[in-house]
Amino acid sequence: MASIPLGTAQGLTGPANRHRARQASPQASHASPGRRADLRASTLTMARKRVALIAFGFALATAVLVLRVAMMGVFGGTGGFTPAGDALLPDRGMIVDRNGVPLARDFKSYALWFNPKAMEGGEPLTRPAGEVAARLVDIFPDMDEADLERRLASGKGQYLRRRILPEEANRVFEIGEPALSPPAEPSRYYPEGNLAAHVLGYVGADGKGHVGMEEVFNTSLTDPSTRGTEQVLAIDSRVQAALEDELLRGMGLAQAKGAGGIVLDVDTGEVVALASLPSFDPNHIDQKGMELMFNRVTNQVYELGSTFKPLAVAAAIDAGVVTNLAKTYPAGKPLRVGRFSIRDSHTIGQNINVPEILIHSSNIGTAQIADELGSVRMKRTMERLGFNERPYIELPARGFPIWRSGEWPRLTTMTVSYGHGIAVTPLHLASAYAAMVNGGIWRPATLKKLSPDEVPEGRRVFKESTSARMRQLLRLIVTDGTGRKADAPGFRLGGKTGSAEKPGDGGYRRTSLVTTFASAFPMDNPRYVVITMYDEPKGTAATSYQRTAAWNAAAAVGRIVPRIGPMLGIYPDENREIDLSDVRPLLEKGGAH
């Protein structure tokens, strides 16, 4: 080694220091040793500082990368492949009815889109705009050629036509202009048109579901991991169609403003059909459709009138207040409570028993039973039936009942017993009737199809024996009372009419009614509750100039049940009947007809 050791340690080092030793030797430089040492020292000092700066720069870059990774972890990470690939996945999941019939599905439709960039930098069109416009007008005769030419010449990307048929798309292809591309765009299609429109809702231009189950299921219908599976509703589209058809027919007959209806499984709470009329077309939402989206069955609260009477009687029987149906109540003159008097539409009899109260729909009689029951027990039963909260259903629009909180005065107890001073939705009433006839268990209503193990346990409102008694009384109303028009032969239907005056300015308006028929069938083993409701029906020739529920709502049920019964597995049987032998004699003896 040629270098001269500069210090004691230097000669002993490895390769690391040889270079330094060489560099320090005088051979390579013209500068004086002193200046050189200064320069070396100052350069090195600078270099060391700068190296630290560069290290800091790298640390900063690392921080940026790690931050980016963290961001990806928090916000990113949408997606794995689905086994069949993204291409086969619908843009929005399908909604089907309980039997798998599609009610809402994806549908690719063509749009005529002008894409001036299709030629990648060249002129948008290969031919003059006028010629292309003329060829387009050949295909779409209703388009304005001059306007089309102007739009093509503008060179701006735009829709020329929003929806075109496949064969029209083929003819557009034949023009041979790359800029005229009919892209297939996803759109939502409701194969059954208006059917169950209020249940389904619609998909807006924003791509989100609105109003019905489209809104409720929006997340699972759009999430790539779940939208491949269809959403199954409890609705049976055949039953729904029959319900809507007959309600609409009745609406025409009675010239009503609107109608509502519901078919509910008494044992599970599944809503098999739910209709609010007039309805809208979810395939084509316009201003008129928007106005009709209000759901009468779940969102509008009504004073449902006499349909409440069986509930009050059931509460009294259940509480042991009415132990004998033959017990009579005076009904010969209006019942005075303070300054208020409760009347019947006509005098039914001086003394009438419980079955007579129901079949003739006596306000005076029911009010006395409720009075005996007392406000505490009356209110508790109504609470147990869910009348103090919004109805249980998935739909976003659910009306809050008009419900008197706090301790009920005696008069409120009495008016509630015949359905005044309390306003609930028809859906509330359906769930309550299901509890009254199914053995006494109240369950929340649902629009989702339930498997047997998904059926909620529910809560007991009435005793089994009360329920059995009420089935007899409801049947009696149809065989011998106001519900006769609903008595579809062989279906053992039972139910109660209700015709309530609509509240208006400063009291009730005698001319406008809300008529309801709440029923269940078959009464020897109830399976379904059917409720129909008309808003402001009129007396027409078709309804024998009558406006009350017996002539419209009950008549509709009488037409609906024979249609839907067989679809639901209930066939008419003239040889079967609920045993009425212990209650019917009470009517014959009373002689109040």
Q: Is 184 in the site for other proteins (CB under 8 A)?
A: no
Of 2, 32, 34, 53, the one binding other proteins by CB under 8 A: 53
Q: Is 593 in the site for other proteins (CB under 8 A)?
A: no
Of residues 231 through 250, those in contact with other proteins by CB under 8 A are none
Closer Cβ to other proteins, 27 or 451, answer by number: 27
Span from 48-56, 284-292, 530-538, 579-587 in contact with other proteins (CB under 8 A): 48-56
Q: How far is the CB of 151 from other proteins (least distance, A)?
A: 24
Q: What is the DSSP letter of 423?
A: B
Q: Is 59 in the site for other proteins (CB under 8 A)?
A: yes
- In the numeric block, the tokens 């083929």 are attached to 170
Closer Cβ to other proteins, 86 or 588, answer by number: 86
Q: Is 87 in the site for other proteins (CB under 8 A)?
A: no
Rg (alpha carbons) of the chain, rounded to whole number: 39
Q: Is 15 in the site for other proteins (CB under 8 A)?
A: yes
Span from 36-44, 125-133, 212-220, 338-346 in contact with other proteins (CB under 8 A): 36-44
Looking at the DSSP bridge assignments, the partners of residue 95 are 104, 231
Q: Is 79 in the site for other proteins (CB under 8 A)?
A: yes
Q: How far is the CB of 185 from other proteins (least distance, A)?
A: 16
Q: Is 13 in the site for other proteins (CB under 8 A)?
A: yes
Span from 18-26, 217-225, 347-355, 476-484 in contact with other proteins (CB under 8 A): 18-26
Specify whether the CB–CB gap between 538 and 552 falls below 8 A.
Answer: no
Q: Is 165 in the site for other proteins (CB under 8 A)?
A: no
Instruction: Give the DSSP per-residue string, 124-151.
Output: S-SS-HHHHHHHHHHH-TTS-HHHHHHH
Q: How far is the CB of 18 from other proteins (least distance, A)?
A: 6
Q: Is 220 in the site for other proteins (CB under 8 A)?
A: no
Q: Is 326 in the site for other proteins (CB under 8 A)?
A: no
CA 295 from centre of chain: 10
Specify whether the CB–CB gap between 514 and 502 falls below 8 A.
Answer: yes
Looking at the DSSP bridge assignments, the partners of residue 515 are 499, 534
Q: How far is the CB of 33 from other proteins (least distance, A)?
A: 12
Q: Is 117 in the site for other proteins (CB under 8 A)?
A: no
Query: For residues 463, 466, 471 and 473, what is the CA-based torsion angle, rounded to 10 degrees?
Result: -160
Q: Is 4 in the site for other proteins (CB under 8 A)?
A: no
Q: How far is the CB of 79 from other proteins (least distance, A)?
A: 6
Q: How far is CA 425 from CA 80, 234, 317, 444, 582, in A?
A: 45, 20, 25, 14, 34
Backbone phi, psi, residue 448, to 5°: -95, 140
Q: How far is the CB of 514 from other proteins (least distance, A)?
A: 56
Of the candidates 302, 291, 91, 370, which has an alpha carbon nearest to the alpha carbon of residue 203? 91
Of 3, 18, 281, 347, the one binding other proteins by CB under 8 A: 18
Span from 16-24, 115-123, 172-180, 425-433 in contact with other proteins (CB under 8 A): 16-24
Span from 41-49, 227-235, 271-279, 319-327 in contact with other proteins (CB under 8 A): 41-49
Closer Cβ to other proteins, 77 or 569, answer by number: 77
Of 4, 44, 184, 326, the one binding other proteins by CB under 8 A: 44
Taken as a whole, the chain contains a residue count of: 593
Q: What is the DSSP letter of 577?
A: -
Of the candidates 505, 507, 504, 482, which has an alpha carbon nearest to the alpha carbon of residue 495? 482
Backbone phi, psi, residue 48, to 5°: -65, -40
Closer Cβ to other proteins, 4 or 41, answer by number: 41
Of the candidates 289, 254, 260, which has an alpha carbon nearest to the alpha carbon of residue 275? 260
Of 55, 165, 184, 290, the one binding other proteins by CB under 8 A: 55
Specify whether the CB–CB gap between 202 and 189 falls below 8 A.
Answer: no
Q: Is 23 in the site for other proteins (CB under 8 A)?
A: yes
Question: Which class for 506: exposed (0-12), middle (13-18), buried (19 or more C-beta within 10 A)?
Answer: exposed
Q: How far is CA 92 from CA 100, 162, 221, 222, 252, in A?
A: 17, 20, 5, 5, 37
Of 78, 451, 544, 581, the one binding other proteins by CB under 8 A: 78
Question: Which class for 12: exposed (0-12), middle (13-18), buried (19 or more C-beta within 10 A)?
Answer: exposed
Q: How far is the CB of 233 from other proteins (least distance, A)?
A: 33
Span from 70-78, 95-103, 123-131, 371-379 in contact with other proteins (CB under 8 A): 70-78
Which residues are catalytic, by number?
306
Span from 77-85, 107-115, 312-320, 537-545 in contact with other proteins (CB under 8 A): 77-85
Q: Is 376 in the site for other proteins (CB under 8 A)?
A: no
Query: For residues 46, 48, 49 and 54, what is the CA-based torsion angle, rounded to 10 degrees?
Result: 120
Span from 9-17, 102-110, 111-119, 462-470 in contact with other proteins (CB under 8 A): 9-17
Backbone phi, psi, residue 562, to 5°: -60, -25
Q: Is 76 in the site for other proteins (CB under 8 A)?
A: yes
Q: How far is the CB of 61 from other proteins (least distance, A)?
A: 5
Q: How far is CA 515 from CA 41, 424, 498, in A?
A: 104, 14, 6
Of 2, 32, 34, 81, the one binding other proteins by CB under 8 A: 81
> In 3-state terms, what secondary structure has residue 546?
coil
Backbone phi, psi, residue 464, to 5°: -55, -45
Q: How many residues bind other proteins (CB under 8 A)?
A: 51
Of 2, 32, 34, 80, the one binding other proteins by CB under 8 A: 80
Of 14, 406, 452, 507, the one binding other proteins by CB under 8 A: 14
- In the numeric block, the tokens 């029906």 are attached to 537
Q: Is 28 in the site for other proteins (CB under 8 A)?
A: yes
Cis before 522 (ω within 30) = yes
Number of CB atoms found within 10 A of residue 438's CB:
25
Of 4, 5, 33, 41, the one binding other proteins by CB under 8 A: 41
Q: Which residues contact 341 (CB under 8 A, 6 or more apart)?
A: 334, 335
Q: Is 146 in the site for other proteins (CB under 8 A)?
A: no
Q: Is 2 in the site for other proteins (CB under 8 A)?
A: no
Strands annotated E in 165-287: 180-181, 184-189, 202-203, 209-210, 231-232, 258-265, 271-277
* Positions in the binding site for other proteins (CB under 8 A): 1, 9, 12-20, 22-23, 28-31, 36, 39-41, 43-48, 50-55, 58-59, 61-62, 64-66, 68-70, 72-73, 76-81
